[in-house]
């Protein structure tokens, strides 16, 4: 039977980045590695079907030969409970059959949980069930903001184990620099005393989850009017230009690296924003900027993007993009960073020891 590791966690806690990094590191060791996301979230429409963007990313970046329907057999829509009004076990059978195909000829399968670890607990298709059925140890990722991370980690340990799953350990992820020593010296000790192994303490790497301008262009289907040579620039949040130029200037000076969103007819706002060199300027409503504004953006090599939607629609789409790694020509740097993080901050030995232990147990059972 293939060895499985179930990477789970709270929303935007770095699950996909961990999978990317682990995938690369385990491959470097000569292991045949697969990827499986039994329950995904449909945020991307591809060929008329809702797809999970993390599954799409892994298939494209890692060159997985399995079909996307097998890599992520169940994809949840917004009103996902409608999908389970019939026999839930049909969905369970579909997941099991897909896992068999994905795990064929693999030494290790990295499984990734749904956005929320408690997803589908009301239908019996939850994280602990998959941990049991696929004998997958759970590596739980949780943001290490402050001491409350210990309570969250223990809560999910109890959730997994009391429902029959196996907890392998926890990764304290996206830890602010000022909290690192506390996580290492206090929080990790508390968790270890409570029987929860700390597999890694990872400092915050904003560049890992910040979208690039290229990714925004792709997500918004934007027209690039200026700054085409700066599309790999990371975007650290957004600022909406719905104020006076004077007020906008004070905010922009304190918001280095943000993209500025305003209407193409707001020449005064655009020129004000250009003074502070934002990561990009997004013009809504399909309104082309003035010649002066466009010329200014080109001179400064600041990406200027034109989109047809209104501000609310654009911001909604950008929120779906935020915190994710998506396949794009600029994602190579993020993938390399994810692998480096695994090497620098994750105790792979704990996972490999469990892998070896399972192999030895199976070998004994055959005798």
Contact 19, 109 (CB under 8 A): no
Instruction: State the pLDDT at residue 96.
Output: 95
Tell me which residue has tokens 């449909």.
Answer: 42
Indicate the domain borders of the chain. 3-208+325-362, 211-321
Q: Which of 36-50, 128-142, 305-319 has the lowest mean pLDDT?
A: 36-50
Residue 327 pLDDT greater than 70, yes or no: no
Closest of 216, 232, 189 to residue 309, by C-alpha: 216
Instruction: State the pLDDT at residue 187.
Output: 96
Contact 144, 356 (CB under 8 A): no
Which are the contacts of 89, defined by CB distance < 8 A and separation ≥ 6?
none
Instruction: State the pLDDT at residue 48.
Output: 67
101 pLDDT tier (thresholds 50, 70, 90): very high
DSSP state of 222: -
Residue 330 pLDDT greater than 60, yes or no: no
Contact 269, 244 (CB under 8 A): no
Residue 362 pLDDT greater than 80, yes or no: no
Q: Nearest 5°: CA angle at 154, between 53 and 75?
A: 20
Instruction: State the pLDDT at residue 324.
Output: 62
Instruction: State the pLDDT at residue 188.
Output: 96
Instruction: State the pLDDT at residue 253.
Output: 67
Q: Nearest 5°: CA angle at 285, between 284 and 289?
A: 70
Percent composition of the chain: helix, strand, coil (DSSP 3-state, to 5)? 50, 20, 30
Contact 112, 15 (CB under 8 A): yes
**CA pair distance 351, 70, nearest whole angstrom:** 25
227 pLDDT tier (thresholds 50, 70, 90): very high
Residue 93 CB coordination number (10 Å) = 12
Query: Which CATH superfamily groups domain 3-208+325-362?
Result: P-loop containing nucleotide triphosphate hydrolases (3.40.50.300)
Q: Which of 64-68, 102-106, 215-219 has the lowest mean pLDDT?
A: 215-219
Q: pTM of the full predicted structure?
A: 0.80
Helix crossing, 267-275 with 291-300: angle to 10°?
20
Instruction: State the pLDDT at residue 85.
Output: 67
Helix count (H) and strand count (E) of the chain?
Answer: 16, 15
The DSSP H or E segment spanning 194 is none
204 pLDDT tier (thresholds 50, 70, 90): confident
Instruction: State the pLDDT at residue 275.
Output: 85
Q: What is the pLDDT of residues 233-269, one digit of tens each?
A: 888 888 887 666 666 666 666 667 789 998 888 888 8
The residues with which 203 forms a beta bridge, in sequence order, are 175
Mean pLDDT of all residues belonging to the chain? 87
Q: What is the pLDDT of residues 6-63, one digit of tens each?
A: 999 988 888 988 998 899 899 999 999 999 999 988 766 666 677 888 888 889 888 8
Instruction: State the pLDDT at residue 331.
Output: 65
329 or 66, which is more confident: 66
DSSP state of 180: H
Residue 328 pLDDT greater than 70, yes or no: no
The DSSP H or E segment spanning 78 is none
**What is the distance in angstroms between the CA of the first residue and the CA of the last residue of the chain?**
16
Instruction: State the pLDDT at residue 249.
Output: 66
Whether 3-208+325-362 and 211-321 share one fold: the answer is: no
Tell me which of 3.40.1390.20, 1.10.390.10, 3.30.465.10, 3.10.20.90 is the CATH number of domain 211-321: 3.40.1390.20
User: What are the DSSP E strand ranges found in the chain?
Assistant: 3-9, 33-36, 39-41, 44-46, 49-51, 74-76, 108-112, 136-143, 166-175, 198-203, 223-226, 238-240, 259-263, 280-284, 304-306
Instruction: State the pLDDT at residue 153.
Output: 95
Q: What is the pLDDT of residues 279-300, one digit of tens each?
A: 999 999 899 999 999 999 999 9
Instruction: State the pLDDT at residue 34.
Output: 95
Instruction: State the pLDDT at residue 329.
Output: 56
**CA pair distance 351, 301, nearest whole angstrom:** 46
Contact 239, 261 (CB under 8 A): yes
**CA pair distance 268, 246, nearest whole angstrom:** 10
| Rg, the chain, Cα only | 23
Instruction: State the pLDDT at residue 251.
Output: 64
Torsion of CA 189, 191, 192, 193, to 10 degrees: 90
């Amino acid at each position: 039977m293939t060895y499985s590791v179930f990477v789970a966690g709270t929303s935007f806690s770095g699950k996909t980045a961990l999978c990317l990094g682990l995938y690369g590191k385990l491959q470097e060791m000569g292991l045949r590695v697969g990827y499986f996301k039994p329950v995904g979230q449909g945020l991307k429409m591809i060929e008329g079907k809702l797809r999970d963007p993390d599954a799409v990313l892994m298939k494209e970046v890692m060159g997985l030969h399995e079909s996307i329907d097998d890599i992520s057999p169940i994809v949840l829509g917004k009103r996902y409970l409608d999908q389970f009004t019939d026999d839930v076990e049909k969905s369970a059978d579909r997941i099991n059959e897909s896992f068999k195909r994905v795990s064929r000829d693999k030494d290790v399968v990295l499984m990734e949980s749904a956005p929320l670890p408690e997803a589908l607990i009301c239908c019996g298709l939850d994280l602990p069930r998959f941990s049991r059925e696929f004998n997958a140890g759970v590596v739980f990722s949780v943001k290490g903001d402050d001491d409350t991370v210990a309570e969250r980690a223990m809560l999910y340990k109890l959730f997994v184990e009391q429902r029959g799953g196996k907890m392998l350990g926890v990764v304290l992820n996206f830890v602010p620099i000022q909290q690192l020593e506390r996580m290492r010296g206090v929080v990790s000790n508390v968790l270890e005393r409570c029987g929860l192994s700390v597999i890694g303490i990872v400092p915050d790497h904003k560049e890992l989850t910040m979208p690039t301008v290229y990714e925004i262009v792709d997500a918004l289907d934007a027209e690039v009017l200026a700054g085409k040579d700066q599309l790999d620039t990371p975007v650290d949040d957004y600022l909406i230009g719905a104020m006076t130029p004077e007020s906008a200037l004070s905010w922009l000076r304190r918001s280095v690296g943000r993209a500025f969103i305003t209407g193409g007819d707001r020449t005064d706002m655009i020129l004000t924003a250009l003074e502070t060199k934002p990561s990009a300027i997004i013009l809504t409503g399909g309104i082309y900027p003035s010649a002066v504004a466009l010329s200014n953006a080109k001179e400064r090599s600041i990406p200027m993007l034109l989109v047809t939607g209104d501000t609310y629609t654009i911001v909604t789409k950008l929120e779906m993009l935020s915190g994710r790694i998506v396949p794009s020509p600029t994602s190579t740097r993020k993938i390399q960073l994810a692998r480096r993080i695994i090497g620098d901050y994750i105790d792979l030995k704990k996972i490999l020891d469990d892998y070896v232990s399972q192999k030895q147990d199976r070998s004994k059972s055959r005798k």
